[in-house]
Structure formats: C-alpha cells, structure tokens
Amino acid sequence: MDSELSIRLCTKQRTALIIKTLNYYLADEQKVKALCFCTDKEHAKFAAESLSLSGLKVDYLVSGDSEQAKDKRKEVVNKLRRGEINYLCVADIFNEGVDIPEVDTVLFLRPTESLTIFLQQLGRGLRLCPEKEVLTYLILLRTLIRSLILKVDLELYLKRAMAESI
C-alpha cells in the first residue's frame, strides 16, 4: 500500500502545490525550521529532492537503528536547529520521543486516519522556544482533514451517547 501511495504523492504537480502553499502561507519560506511528515522512505527522499530543486535547503531522515543512522540523525537535526537546512522530510520517525523546540513549521505531506499520530506529529512543533513566536502547520491532504474531523465527531458523539445512557 505504501508504494502505491508514494507513487501518487511523488509527482511534480504535488511538488508545485507544496511550493505554492509555502509561498502563500509562510512569511519567508527560506527562514523556517520545518518538519515534513512523509508516508515512507521513497516519499521522504522524493520530497527532499524536489524541494531542494526548488531552491530550498532540505534533508531527509527515515527510521533506522544502526549507530550510523543514529549519528546521521543527530547531525541532520543539529543542521535544522542551526538553520543550515530549513526543511527536514521524515518517514517513520519523530512521531514521538524527539524534542526539537526550534521547529516552527509542520507540514503534513502524508495521510493518516489516526488522530493519535496526527496529534503526535503536530506536537513536534508545539515545543516552546525563545526564538519562536508562532507555529505554522500546513495540511496538504484534504482526506486527512476529512477523516480526522469525522473520527473526532464520531468519538464525541459516542461519548455523549454513553453519558446520556447512564
């Protein structure tokens, strides 16, 4: 399933939409410290390469447990913190257990039907940092919004129904 989804997400048209969205919503797309959540390794790599070709400073990370992977992760995260890169495309990591308070922009480039995952990813940008005035989060998938709203509405409805039946 992920590979089919990657094929649909890894297009020039989608990259153009992302760039257009960044230009519209960000005061300066060259000065942000953004985490971009991708669906899998191929999507993270494609997103990083495409954004880089558009003139942005980008890198990507995917899950891996080797010492080399952990060292690279620290190095790339430090580049984001220092502003040497502005966008970090990630797949299968950073949903939880990472603290990068400098992140001021979160891009949802992947779908999820899990409210928990959505909130975990959103939370990566909610850490306080003296230099950060605001968090910008951009959801680039209508289906993500629709499915999360429906899930939250259903959960609230069920909680109310259960409370009324007691």
Q: What pTM does this model have? A: 0.82
What residue spans define the domains of the chain? 2-141
Average model confidence (pLDDT) for the chain?
84
pLDDT at 154 over 60: no
Q: What amino acid is encoded at 4 in this protein? A: E
pLDDT over 70 at 147, yes or no: no
Place of tokens 């959103």: 122
What are the distances in angstroms from CA 119 to CA 21, 83, 137? 22, 25, 12
Is residue 4 predicted with pLDDT exceeding 60? yes
DSSP lists the bridge partners of residue 106 as 35, 137
% of the chain exceeding 70 in pLDDT? 83
Please say whether the dihedral angle defined by the alpha carbons of residues 135, 141, 146 and 148, taken in this order, is positive or negative: negative
Amino acid at 67: E
Fold of 2-141: Rossmann fold (3.40.50)
Give me the pLDDT at residue 150, please: 47
Q: What is the pLDDT of residues 92-133, one digit of tens each?
A: 888 777 889 999 999 999 888 788 888 888 888 888 888 888
Q: How far is CA 76 from CA 80, 100, 108, in A?
A: 6, 12, 20
Q: Residue 35: which H helix or E strand, with range?
A: strand 34-37
Half-sphere exposure of 155 (CA within 13 A, CB side): 9
Q: Give the span between the Cα atoms of 138 and 107, in whole angstroms.
A: 5
